[in-house]
Each structure stands twice: as C-alpha cells, then as structure tokens.
Chain A
C-alpha cells in the first residue's frame, strides 16, 4: 500500500514539475519536486524505501529529460539511501534538522549528477554554485511545507504514535 502511495507521489511530482517548469525554465533556481519527494519518502520510510523510490523516480525523470538514463537515477538512489539512513539513525523531526537534510541532500544530488556528466565528458557546468544553492534552499523550503501540510492532516499523528507503540 505504501509502495502505491510512493508511486503516486512520484507521478504527481513529475506532472507538477513538468507543468511548473514551463514557467521556471528561464531561471536557474528551479525546484526539483521529484527530489523533494524522494527525500521525504526516505526520511519517513527508511533507507530501502528511499533508495528504491530514488532509483525509480530518477530513471523516470531521466527518460523524460534529454539526458543519459541512469545518471539521475544513480544520483537520487544515493540521496534516497543517505537520507533514509539519516532518518533511521537520527531524530529528524524538528524543523532545523529537516531543513538541513533537504539542503545537504540537494547538494549531494547535484554533486553526483553534475560530477558524473563532467566525468563522462557529456556536459559542462561552469560556475554552478549559485544554481545549486538556490535549488537547495528552494527544495528545503518546499520539503518543509510538505512535512507541515502532511503532518497536519487528520489522523496522521495518531497513526504514527500507534505504529511506534506496536
């Protein structure tokens, strides 16, 4: 059931991303909604769920983009694994740790993604730091809003407490 939820979330993120990208395409501070979903899923579902979601979402995103299929998948797989591991090892329930997790995860994603393209000699990214940092802040902000909205839904807190008791 959770897997279906994750797949729907990824599909919705890609649909929203392709819709919003039309209006953000000229800027470099675009938000990667698919990455936000992967980090969210990893933080709430753990490393395995995170890396499976990241791997799947990345490949779909690669297929819809004009890039090499697998580079985005690998980048999101690593981010999903790391974010999931952090979510399992540390208490990431307050605002600041969550914000930092989204921020760092976006930077790691960009480093792997751009690093692979540069390593393979397929693309160059001259002075990418402004774009990376603005996307990191954007992703973190959207991630925080997602956590706030989803946790305020009725019944979520109770279900989580009940799960912990079990």
Chain B
C-alpha cells in the first residue's frame, strides 16, 4: 500500500530525488574561490539573515565608531606606508635571490634523471562510464601506490593514479578530457601542454614561433611534477595554424589504450620534485663566500 501511495505522488518523488542529487552535486563542486557550492549557498543565505539582524545595531554604533576611527587614520596611514616601503625592498631582494638560484641551478645541471623504481600491475577493469577514460589496476596502497603517481607502458605514457585503494587503483588515462601532461617536441624542444580530448590528444600553449612538423615525437617534459621527463607521449598527427599561433596540434598517442593489459607504476617521484632540494642548496650557495 505504501508503494502504491508513493506511485500516486510520482511528481513529488521526482522533485525530491532531483533536489537530493543537486545537493549531492553541490557538496562536491567548488566555486571559483574553492569553496563547496553547498557551503557557499548555505553560508550566503545565512549571512544575509545575519546581515539584516545586525544592521540595526551596527547602524547605531557606526557613526560614533567612524568618528573615533577617523582620528587614528592619519597615524595608521603613515605606519602602513612605511611598512609597504620595507616590504617592497624585501621583495626585490627575494626576487634577486631567486633569479640567482635559478641561474646557478641551470649552470650546475642539477636536474639529473635518476633510475626509476617501478611496480608492475595488471589491468583488471575499464571505466564504469564511457564519458571518463579510466581503468583499474590490481595494485594499491599496499604496494606503495599513491595518488598522482605516473603509469607507463612499454610504448609510452598511460596516465596517473587518481584513486588508490588497498589492493587496486584507478588510473586516469592521458586521453581523458580532464587529463594533461607537460610535453615537448623531441626534435625542436618546443614545449607545451598535452591534453586529452576523450579519444586522443592535443598539444596546447605552444609558442607561435615553435618548429613543429607532422611526425615529430612528443615526450614528457617533466614540468608537471607527475610524469618523469623523456617518456614518449605520441607523434604529431596534424598541425593547423590559427591567427599568429598554432590553432590545433593533434597528437596520435603512442599507447594503444584499447589493448593495455599490463602497466608499470612509477614509484620514484619525478625529477622536477627532486630538484627542489638541490635548488634550495643552490639558493644558499651565494651566501657562503
């Protein structure tokens, strides 16, 4: 009978379920400022109520407080001006130090690529939804896997770990629409960002003067902090020119994502992350002599 009763209220049930789903989505999606939408909306609504409630009281206090505060404004302004001046000088010193560190780092060629520690894994499932390019492998946190570890195959880069569990891990493939990696053209060293398109790859943010030809190999640049430098991503398939810059650079992936059965997970942090330590020591070096 209860079920029949619900069936007579199909519309209400539909609305209730829809609202439930929207609340669920809102709890996960962040606003431009990085706050969950649900929290932002709830906070926004209650903030307005609080604003109205306190406006009467604060209105009465405002005139007296403002009058007293005005007397202190000049003194505070002078103090702040001095502080801004000191901070500007400090900022310039920091910039100079950072520039010196970068130059020394480049000179000393500290970005050496260490041998990679890897763990082999078998692919046990694909993505649950055709709109997301993911797959599941049979290794997890118990084998040392962590989020954002690179996943590679003999042919090239496969993707990165996004959700590891104890005995399995979800891998976001590089061809997923939300995936990206720092890439460079092996022949000309032109850099850009390789992004997934759902079924293939494209290269963006490439300088308009870069030397790029169809057939060029694209490898990882290592600047993203996930993929080690020098691993094959694919080959330039087509290059279209836009207005004064590259319109679209399509890349044919080196890996056949439909036939992957086994992969390697890179346990060693990429060189870009390791460079932070030598960079700091390089930054400290000028002070020594």
Contacts and interface: CB of A to CB of B under 8 A. Distances in A.
Interface of A: 14, 17-28, 30-32, 34, 46-48, 51-52, 55, 59-62, 64-74, 77-78, 81, 113-114, 116, 120, 122-126, 131, 135
B198 A131 contact: yes
Nearest to A71: B25
Interface stretch (B61-69, B106-114, B175-183): B175-183
Contact of A22 (B17, B125, B129, B175): B125
Contact of B257 (A25, A61, A69, A125): A25
A113 B131 contact: yes
Main secondary structure of the interface of A (DSSP, over half): helix
Given A22-B123, A27-B258, A14 B128 contact: yes
Interface string B251-262: 000001111100
18 contacts: A17-B130, A18-B128, A21-B127, A22-B125, A23-B126, A25-B127, A25-B258, A26-B258, A27-B199, A31-B130, A32-B129, A34-B129, A48-B6, A51-B14, A55-B21, A69-B24, A77-B18, A113-B131
B22 interface: yes
Interface in B149-189: 162-163, 170, 172-173, 175-178
Interface of B: 6-7, 10, 13-14, 17-18, 20-22, 24-25, 28-29, 123, 125-136, 162-163, 170, 172-173, 175-178, 197-199, 256-260
Nearest to A23: B258
A51 B127 contact: no
B198 to A, nearest CB: 6
Nearest to B200: A26
* Interface hub of B6, B25, B173 (most chain A Cβ within 10 A): B25
A48 B21 contact: no
Nearest to A14: B128
Nearest to B176: A66
Nearest to A110: B131
Contacts of B162: 66
A73 B199 CA distance: 24
Nearest to A76: B21
A34 B128 CA distance: 9
A66 B25 contact: no
Given A69-B28, A71-B25, A26 B175 contact: yes
